[in-house]
Amino acid sequence: EIVMTQSPATLSVSPGERATLSCRASQSVSSNLAWYQQKPGQAPRLLIYGASTRATGIPARFSGSGSGTEFTLTISSLQSEDFAVYYCQQYNNWWTFGQGTKVEIK
Amino acid sequence: EVQLVQSGAEVKKPGESLRISCKGSGFSFTSDWIAWVRHMPGKGLEYMGIIYPGDSDTRYSPSFQGQVAISADKSISTAYLQWSSLKASDTAMYYCARGGIQGVVADSWGQGTLVIVSS
């Protein structure tokens, strides 16, 4: 089973600042990596797939990069609605989620 | 519009059985994988398993193999998650999701079904 490890567990950021979230896979997943945003009481929402392709309707301030085992989600200028938990997910070998990174207001 | 509508919240006792459902609409239910994801209170998302309703091909996460059963009735565009004997540790929110991109990327999610298991 592929293990996904996210860091940091919590990221404290001021509105307008950049946030950088990391995700590492225990073995190569090629570019078969997605990022999801989840807010309290809501279902997850797809942000990025194919490591770097934004899903429909996702603002350009969200960007993804990486391949193989190292991936990054960058939020260029945090808006109030971006404070949430973010999960990476590999789909190279069925699915595995990372444990999540909570982005909170500093 | 693609929609996944899940059945309502359940409160059950340990040892009881349960089946929750996920009804798809707005897409070809037989052409996309449907997955189940657990979200325990205060924890992260956990992939449980996935089914292809077109031929009922089903795969389970090793962590959930033998603990739950996933099935689908393509005639009514509905997927199911079933337990034969619930435990208190099964208390969680359960989501279904459609692998609508490249067959496996979850672009649509159900609203979630809260399952509470308590004596």
Q: Quick one: pLDDT at residue B102?
A: 80
Contact status of A87 with chain B (Cβ, < 8 Å): yes
Contact predicate A64/A35, CB 8 Å: yes
Contact status of B105 with chain A (Cβ, < 8 Å): yes
Specify which residues B3 forms β-bridges with.
B25
Point out the residue among A44, A46, A94 whose CB comes nearest to the CB of B45: A44
Alpha carbon distance B34, A40 (integer Å): 23
Residue type at position A42: Q
pLDDT digit string, tens, across residues A8-66: 999 999 999 999 999 999 999 999 999 999 999 999 999 999 999 999 999 999 999 99
Q: Quick one: pLDDT at residue B104?
A: 84
Average pLDDT over residues A76-102: 95
Alpha carbon distance A4, A20 (integer Å): 17
Q: Which whole-number Å values give the CA distances from A65 to A32, A49, A78, A83, in the listed order?
A: 11, 10, 18, 20
Q: Quick one: pLDDT at residue B103?
A: 78
Give the tokens for residue B6. 């899940």
